[in-house]
Chain A
């Protein structure tokens, strides 16, 4: 079955540590995205990538970094510079520019990061 796999599902981090969240898709989608969800809030865009080896900052990119070396993979690193990293992180993918209609994102199951 095609889909998006995020790992780990739960992650605990001490203050000052960097952590990397994994996101892999086998949908053959060109575009990939990272969103963050906080309690009672909507999804906020961190980074997105339309094609391999290219990515752009979203609305809340400070303290995060990404890479897109392969079409299937879009890992997110939460650095120690991120002031409030405890949140639920969601990775998504879509056909991106190939689709002239609605840009329907397919989401993974999410990773919950807790900073101790």
Chain B
């Protein structure tokens, strides 16, 4: 049972435009959501997180939006840069069980064209 889903395996945008990466989840117990960026043959690096009590969190070019009723979140990158080309993973966790390890989606490969 995949609790965190990223239904778009890839996305291509032009440099300077907005990139929107989407993520859906099924577990209503999740109380934190995180986005990670990953280059090939490297470990993921943390980008931004959001608490389930918020609907928006912004950090520079990166903004995450959360729609709890739809169990959907999205990462907006504005403006997109060629260096943003990577695989982006959505992840979620809950404090309400003993397990606080992150559950990851399958990732979306973003290609930013110069």
Number of contact residues on A: which range applies? Answer: 20 to 34
In the complex, the answer to whether A104 meets B34 with C-beta atoms within 8 Å is: yes
How many A-B pairs have beta carbons closer than 8 Å: the answer is 69
Say yes or no: A101-B32 contact (C-beta < 8 A), given A42-B106, A107-B45.
yes
In the complex, the answer to whether A110 meets B41 with C-beta atoms within 8 Å is: yes
B70 at interface (Cβ–Cβ under 8 A)? Answer: no
Question: Interface readout for A20-50 with B: 1 if CB under 8 Å, 0 if not?
Answer: 0000000000010101000011111100101
How far, in angstroms, from A43 to B4 measured CA to CA in the complex? 11
Number of contact residues on B: which range applies? Answer: 20 to 34
B59 at interface (Cβ–Cβ under 8 A)? Answer: no
What residue of chain B has the Cβ atom nearest to residue A6's Cβ? B43
In the complex, the answer to whether A102 meets B93 with C-beta atoms within 8 Å is: yes
B25 at interface (Cβ–Cβ under 8 A)? Answer: no
A77 at interface (Cβ–Cβ under 8 A)? Answer: no
In the complex, the answer to whether A97 meets B100 with C-beta atoms within 8 Å is: yes
In the complex, the answer to whether B100 meets A31 with C-beta atoms within 8 Å is: yes
A56 at interface (Cβ–Cβ under 8 A)? Answer: yes
In the complex, the answer to whether A110 meets B32 with C-beta atoms within 8 Å is: no
**A95 to chain B: closest CB distance in Å?**
10
Say yes or no: A106-B46 contact (C-beta < 8 A), given A42-B106, A43-B89, A112-B41.
yes
B residues contacting A by CB (< 8 A) are 4, 6, 9, 32, 34, 41-46, 49-51, 89, 93, 95, 98-107
A residues contacting B by CB (< 8 A) are 4, 31, 33, 35, 40-45, 48, 50, 56, 58, 88, 90, 92, 94, 96-97, 100-110, 112
7 A-B pairs within 8 Å (CB atoms) are namely A40-B9, A41-B107, A42-B4, A42-B106, A50-B100, A108-B43, A112-B41
